[in-house]
Structure 1
Amino acid sequence: MQLSYWELKNWFTNVDYTIVGSGIVGLHCALALRDRFPSSKILVLEKGILPQGASTKNAGFACFGSVSEIIDDLKTHTEEEVIQLVQKRVQGLKLLRNRLGDEVIDFKPYGAYELFLNNDEPFYNECLEKLPFINDVLRPLFKADVFAKEIDRFDFQNIFENLIFNPFEGQIDTGNMMQALLKEVISKDILILNQQNVTSFQDLNDKVEVITNETSFVTNKLLFATNGFASKLTKNQVQPARAQVLITKPIENLEIKGTFHLDKGYYYFRNIGNRILFGGGRNLDFDGETTTDLSQSKIIQDKLEELLKTVILPHQKFEIEHRWSGIMGVGNHKKPIVEHVSNNVYCGVRMGGMGVAIGSLIGKELADLV
């Protein structure tokens, strides 16, 4: 496509910082750069109409980790690493809430619950036994016990009667959050171009040539915030992980309020008003869900509906209104990757399914590399 003189001058000339990805990480990175460099020219490129990854597609959990996830992480990470991960997630949520405000993002401190299916008794017992230990590990961060046993009061079925409750977590409105971030970025004279797919780049020592599906231009610094889509261009150890989600039509007299984790966190659900949002099931087909394809699969959608009928809403009629998928970035370690790719190229990727919690902080850390 031949761009006009005006287009080249205003959007693609004298670019100081180009950020690839307009999700939580990319927009926080842009805002952090604007704070440090008030007169710089900052350009954000996004390959979708809206953020293509998980930032506008997630479940809106303001969470830092369930008991089962922390126990699982301790099997592959040191105790210090796990504490650092939780601390970053808590700091990130604080940064997000402080920047946008709880009213704007519709933050509701309903707390979080973990359910255990009847057929998973060994792991249920392990979590209960390790509850005091996990609370001891996290007490320096929260100055209180984080997790406690609580009798199921939601009339779930086919689970153990004790849930594990965490009062420090909540839920947000993902759409409100991203709209507010986009508005703030635009108000700070940061340019955003959608449907710009970066296909390659070349670090030229004093600048970077960027090639997209529409044009090519040079920028002083290039920063990737593409999470699950990152490995192709940045060559980092990030795997895409599809998360499939559905939402019901409004349900009369719905008493479920909060965020809920089920089956070691592979399933998760929450109320949105009087609807239930339910997602997960990646563990049914790890290979098939290691993809950037945003469609849905029958095996997972059928399982989500089955669990709705047999566990979550066993005594209520419901109808599915809508289904969608998002792409997370995962790897063999939960620690996000924030590093130089080359002299003038940087990346902040691999959120590990915790983008809402940690994305704002990683965006700032990415900007701090410059």
Structure 2
Amino acid sequence: MNLSYWEIKTWLTNIDFTIVGSGIVGLNCALQLKKRFPKAKILILEKGMLPQGASTKNAGFACFGSLSEIIDDLKKHSEDAVLELIKKRINGLQLLRETLGDNALDYQNFGGYELFLESDDTLYNSCLSNKDDINQLLYSIFNTEVFSFKVNNFGFKNIKPNYCYNPFEGQIDTGKMMNALLDKVQSLGIKILNNTKVEELSEDSNAVKLKTNHFDFTTKKLCIATNGFAKQLNIPEVKPARAQVLITKPIDNLHIKGTFHLDEGYYYFRNIDNRILLGGGRNLDFQTEETTEFGQTEIIQNKLEDLLKTIILPNTSFEIDQRWSGIMGVGKQKNAVVKQLSKNVFCGVRLGGMGIAIGSLIGKELADLVE
């Protein structure tokens, strides 16, 4: 790119902090850095036209984990570790709401539901038998019981007659959230350059040199907030995980309200603007979905449509309006990777599909690492 003197002087000179990724983590990191260092010059680089990855492509669940997910986590982590994970998600959601306000998020507290397939006796019975223990575990956070079982009153078919209800789960408008975050960041004089991909980085004792697809420049400190794409910047603890989503056209008199989890959370759906948004199916083909390529596959899209027809909207005609995918960052452990990589390089990645819940907090933790 043929840059002018003015462009280099204004946008690419004397950069104190550069953040790679303008998603939830990157923008919250920028807000916290500006709070700590009001006079700092902060630049955010984003490889997409809009935030790539999952920040503008997720389902907008303000959740901290379904009953079956918590039961499964307790098989792999200690009680203290699981409790800490849940606390982080709750604190992260609270920070998001405090940062932007419920109106800007279009936050709605319709509650969350976990559905169980008619054929899945094992999972259903496990949730029934472990419910009281999990409620006791969470009592220190909520001071009341979280999970209870209710009769299916939404007209879903081919599921157990009772589903698990969580009154503390909500939903947001993902687009409004990201728009409000971008507005807040830019109002503070923080610059964002879109369509700019970091290709290489090198470091000396005082700074980091970045080579992008358009230009080279130097920054004093670098924060990596690319989540599902972290492996491309040599952070091996993170694997990409594609999540495919579809949304129906508006449906007259849609009575379904809430966030819904099905089949151990591998499928999830919600109401939005008189439509049903449905995503998931990664478990049908883990290998293919471990990718940073956006797109859809026939096996997953067919399954999503089948769930709409047989379970979610069995007696309602519908049309699919849009399909898309997002890229999450996952790994062997559920906790995020927030650490110093070298003297001047830091990262906050591997949000494990909980970006709405923990993204604000991870962004703050990433900024707090930087001296």
* Structure 2 residue aligned with 1:87: 87
1:239–1:290 Cα contact (<8 Å) kept? yes
Q: Report the secondary structure of 2:260's partner residue.
A: strand
Q: TM-score, normalised by structure 1?
A: 0.99
1:208–1:219 Cα contact (<8 Å) kept? yes
1:149–1:165 Cα contact (<8 Å) kept? yes
Q: Report the secondary structure of 1:244's partner residue.
A: strand
| Distance (whole Å) between structure 2 residues aligned to residue 96 and residue 272 of structure 1 | 20
Superposition misfits of 4+ residues, deviation over 6 angstroms:
none
Runs of at least 5 residues in structure 2 that lack an aligned partner in the other structure: none
1:31 deviates by: 0.2
Q: Report the secondary structure of 2:72's partner residue.
A: helix
Q: Report the secondary structure of 1:294's partner residue.
A: coil
Runs of at least 5 residues in structure 1 that lack an aligned partner in the other structure: none
* Structure 2 residue aligned with 1:117: 117
* Structure 1 residue aligned with 2:185: 185
1:53–1:228 Cα contact (<8 Å) kept? yes
* Structure 1 residue aligned with 2:220: 220
State how many pairs are aligned: 370
Q: Report the secondary structure of 2:146's partner residue.
A: coil
Q: Which amino acid aligns with 2:331?
A: G
| Distance (whole Å) between structure 2 residues aligned to residue 198 and residue 108 of structure 1 | 37
1:234–1:341 Cα contact (<8 Å) kept? no
1:77 deviates by: 1.1
Q: TM-score, normalised by structure 2?
A: 0.99
Matches within 5 A, 1:220-369: 220-369=220-369
* Structure 1 residue aligned with 2:154: 154
Q: Report the secondary structure of 1:368's partner residue.
A: helix
1:200 deviates by: 1.0
Q: Which amino acid aligns with 1:260?
A: F
1:232 deviates by: 1.9
Q: Which amino acid aligns with 1:318?
A: F
* Structure 1 residue aligned with 2:4: 4
| Distance (whole Å) between structure 1 residues aligned to residue 151 and residue 234 of structure 2 | 47
| Distance (whole Å) between structure 1 residues aligned to residue 77 and residue 294 of structure 2 | 31
1:57 deviates by: 0.2
1:234–1:347 Cα contact (<8 Å) kept? no
1:81 deviates by: 0.8
Higher mean alpha-carbon deviation, 200-209 vs 13-22, is at 200-209
Deviations 1:156-196 (CA, angstroms, capped at 9, x unpaired): 00000111000001000000000000000000010000011
Deviations 1:307-332 (CA, angstroms, capped at 9, x unpaired): 10000000100000000000000000
Matched, 1:35 2:25: no
Matches within 5 A, 1:190-201: 190-201=190-201
1:291 deviates by: 0.4
1:15–1:43 Cα contact (<8 Å) kept? yes
Deviations 1:48-71 (CA, angstroms, capped at 9, x unpaired): 000111000000000000001111
| Distance (whole Å) between structure 1 residues aligned to residue 85 and residue 135 of structure 2 | 15
Q: Report the secondary structure of 1:231's partner residue.
A: helix
| Distance (whole Å) between structure 2 residues aligned to residue 324 and residue 232 of structure 1 | 22
Q: Which amino acid aligns with 1:144?
A: T
| Distance (whole Å) between structure 2 residues aligned to residue 348 and residue 77 of structure 1 | 21
1:236 deviates by: 3.0
Q: Report the secondary structure of 2:202's partner residue.
A: strand
1:223–1:345 Cα contact (<8 Å) kept? yes
RMSD: 0.6
| Distance (whole Å) between structure 2 residues aligned to residue 247 and residue 138 of structure 1 | 33
1:234 deviates by: 3.2
1:2 deviates by: 2.2
| Distance (whole Å) between structure 2 residues aligned to residue 342 and residue 304 of structure 1 | 43
1:12 deviates by: 0.6
1:273 deviates by: 2.6
Higher mean alpha-carbon deviation, 18-27 vs 235-244, is at 235-244
